[in-house]
Amino acid sequence: MKDNLIKDIIQEMLPFLNNAQGEKLRDVLQYTFAKYEINGNVTEDKEVEQNFVELFLSAKRIEGCSEKSLKYYQATIDKMLDELNKDVKRISTDDVRTYLIRYQERKKSSKVTIDNIRRILSSFFSWLEDEDYILKSPVRRIHKIKTRTNIKETYSDEALEMMRDNCKEVRDLAIIDMLASTGMRVGEMILLNRNDIDFNERECIVFGKGSKERVVYFDARTKIHLQNYLESRKDNNPALFVSLKSPHERLKVGGVEVRLREFGKQLGLNKVHPHKFRRTLATMAIDKGMPIEQLQQLLGHRKIDTTLQYAMVKQSNVKIAHRKYIG
């Protein structure tokens, strides 16, 4: 009861105190209340408590987060609040830490998943702290969970040519070339319309995460295959890529993923997936000396650390660099 009383007093004083003053007030209250026994019934606040989760999501929406990300944030935060069943202002570091441990044990989740949950909860409580709803984020002392770095595969030149040579549909050839030469996300590609393509400049504008615009570029081979595909179409759908069968609707992400997966199995290629084209382009760009800042712009990454995770340095180039610079 004493701890809750102290938290309530501090919460009421937050608008008038900075962090250092709040910590000092906590120390004084803890020292003072240690001398007394506190008995009595707690009167529940009749006022409707602000929905902190909705306020947080609104702030993230203004920052440009996609609806898909917002739904994931809400589901993650709601699960934690439902399990802890405590006032947001009274959630402690031990509460969050225990929740993460139990979640991992119950779901058998990977360290990557648990760290994603930790990151979202940290963002939520840090926002509460910044907005002066709480004194200090309980996640501040829960550090990033160390995870094993997995080297993800890229397509070899042989694999790319094998896919191109075995395409029976001009649409599929255009899709493979579009993904391989632009490095765009599959979710960006399926939103493109025919009139978005500038064939003269070999470029197009895509809408990335958070509805951010950027220009991507494609090579001459992609231009030819894309023009051949569009000339072969008999439908009036404005979408750049549509289904092969009538009524020729706009392709969806799942449709592209399934098509490529089945295509890969037919050719005996391992893990053919749209995102692998993006990773392959990033690795190839770094391999050929493209400055990382330019690659970041090309891929549409907000943080350069993300670009560095995508782009892998070939071991053969490390060996060549060692001989060149070290001997």
Of the ranges 44-53, 133-142, 157-166, the best mean pLDDT one: 157-166
Domain positions in the chain = 1-40, 49-146, 157-321
User: How many CB atoms are closer than 10 A to CB 42?
Assistant: 9
State the pLDDT confidence band at 311, using cuts at 50, 70 and 90.
Answer: low
Cα–Cα dist 160/109, whole Å? 34
Query: Going by CATH, does the domain composed of 157-321 fall within 1.20.1740.10?
Result: no
Residue 274: strand, helix, or coil: helix
Cα–Cα dist 35/19, whole Å? 25
Of the ranges 147-151, 235-239, 305-309, the best mean pLDDT one: 235-239
Pick from 289, 295, 299, 274: nearest CA to 320: 289
User: How many CB atoms are closer than 10 A to CB 15?
Assistant: 7
Query: Averaged over 293-318, what is the pLDDT?
Result: 78
CA angle 209, 127, 76 (to 5 degrees): 65
Cα–Cα dist 75/228, whole Å? 44
Pick the CATH number of 49-146 from 1.10.150.130, 3.40.630.30, 3.40.50.150, 3.40.50.20: 1.10.150.130
Cis peptide before 238 (omega within 30 of 0): no
Q: For residue 144, what is the enclosing H or E element?
A: none
pLDDT in tens, 168-191: 999 999 999 999 999 999 999 999
Pick from 22, 247, 249: nearest CA to 129: 22
Mean residue pLDDT across the chain:
86
Query: Averaged over 55-79, what is the pLDDT?
Result: 89
Judged against a pLDDT cut of 50, whether residue 48 lies above it is answered with no
| Predicted TM-score (pTM) of this structure | 0.64
